[in-house]
Structure 1
Amino acid sequence: MERKYSSKINKIRTFALSLIFIGFLIMYVGIFFRTNIWLMTIFMILGLLSIIASTVVYFWIGMLSTKAIQVICPSCGKPTKMLGRVDMCMYCRESLTLDPELEGKEFDENYNKKKINLSEKG
């Protein structure tokens, strides 16, 4: 089974976008409880908290993105940002690394974990 990888920045942005939609969905469910003001208020507040959490995540990834290393993808030639030891190109999903020990090895997100033994991965 082939896993679909994407860049870390895009994953976090997708998560933040999903928080917005989840928040709107929670608020929409609250409309069905118009007869019970307390239940409707709880749903509205939970939806609002989800949207606020999305704003915080977007702000965090924006700050993280400014510190990311910008590289030119060798495959598509477009500039992309890289977080960690290994990452994927945001455009063509080419695996990228700046670590000479990982050159030529198969892409694995576990290389970004602090305590990984490179000899185990081949």
Structure 2
Amino acid sequence: MKPYKNKINRIRSFALALIFIGFVVMYFGIFFKQYPLVMVIFMVLGLLCIIASTVVYFWIGMLSTKAVQVVCPNCGKATKMLGRVDMCGHCREPLTLDPELEGKEFDESYNRKKPAQSGE
């Protein structure tokens, strides 16, 4: 079984990774002190990663305000849900608001407009 994560937490983790990637890229620029142009390129690339992280954090923050807040039936904690199916952000319980999907095996493809065909 594939380990699923809450969509909001997954996007926030990606944004955090962008920050660390940006710092590492900037750090590599220090090794090129003798070549100022190369050092500046690394510094700018690192800065772009950090700016991209800020944009992603802003985007998920705006998306989070529109998310449906539900109480998980398993752990009883409030969590935000994006799409037709999502995982609880605390206990990873599969959640859905669609009565048609109730009791079915959890699959992220239910969030797509056209579900994936089996056998492809």
Deviations for 1:17-68, whole angstroms, at most 9, x for unmatched residues?
0000000000000000000000000000000000000000000000000000
- Matches of 1:117 and 1:26, distance apart in 2: 38
Equivalent residues in 2 for 1:1-122 (5 A)?
2-116=1-115
- Matches of 2:30 and 2:15, distance apart in 1: 24
Q: How far is 1:116 from its partner?
A: 1.5
Q: What RMSD over aligned residues (CA atoms) do the two structures have, in Å?
A: 1.2
Structure 2: tracts of 5 or more residues without a match:
none
Give the secondary structure class of the aligned counterpart of 2:89: coil
- Matches of 1:117 and 1:18, distance apart in 2: 29
AA paired with 1:70?
Q
TM-score w.r.t. length of structure 1: 0.94
Instruction: Flag as ranges the 4+ runs of structure 1 deviating above 2 A.
Output: none
Give the secondary structure class of the aligned counterpart of 2:90: coil
AA paired with 2:81?
M
Deviations for 1:58-104, whole angstroms, at most 9, x for unmatched residues?
00000000000000000000000000000000000000000000000
- Matches of 2:70 and 2:113, distance apart in 1: 22
- Matches of 2:32 and 2:14, distance apart in 1: 28
Give the secondary structure class of the aligned counterpart of 1:29: helix
Against the structure 1 CA distance between its residues 29 and 117, is the aligned structure 2 distance closer, same or farther, given a 3 Å change threshold? closer
TM-score w.r.t. length of structure 2: 0.96
- Matches of 1:5 and 1:104, distance apart in 2: 17
- Conserved in 1, the CA contact under 8 Å of 2:23 and 2:46? yes
Structure 1: tracts of 5 or more residues without a match:
none
Q: How far is 1:11 from its partner?
A: 0.5
